[in-house]
Amino acid sequence: QVELVESGGGSVQPGGSLRLSCMFSGVTPSTFSLAWFRQVPGKEREGLALIYLASDITFYNDSVKGRFTISRDGAKKTLYLQMDRMEPSDTAMYYCATATYVSGGPPAFPYEFNTWGQGTQVTVSA
């Protein structure tokens, strides 16, 4: 079974950077992609970035494109999310997850999340 463990969250000032990590295990050839999403209490989860494991092709929500970068280290079985030029609106709990494409899904991020970790909190404030 897939296990995902996020780390790297914390507090940062506006304009600053953070890099989140997600150690994953149990990924099989049927796991086509890994992703990051975030959630604020009382709001829907927001898909941020996704990477296809077979090709390293990436997909970003326009809300973070150009500021966030998803990458992975296959040897270390670790997924990363580099977050730059952070804004107070980036404050949320961040999760890594296995993800599946959904035909007809929301154009901003047409993927559903299947398994995710416990999350890591990110706070952006002056």
The pLDDT tens digits for 42-89 are: 999 999 999 998 899 999 999 999 999 999 998 889 999 999 999 999
pLDDT (0 to 100) of residue 113 = 95
Q: CA-to-CA distance for 63 and 105, rounded, in angstroms?
A: 17
Look at residue 18 and give its three-state secondary structure. strand
pLDDT (0 to 100) of residue 32 = 85
Q: Let me know if 125 is exposed, middle or buried by CB neighbors in 10 A (0-12, 13-18, 19+).
A: exposed
- For residue 9, is pLDDT > 80? yes
Instruction: Give Cα separations from 112 to 33, 68, 89 (angstroms).
Output: 11, 20, 23
Q: CA-to-CA distance for 100 and 86, rounded, in angstroms?
A: 27
pLDDT (0 to 100) of residue 6 = 98
Dihedral sign of CA atoms 94, 66, 82, 55 in order: positive
Burial 14-28 (b: 16+ CB within 10 A, else e): eeeebebbbebeebe
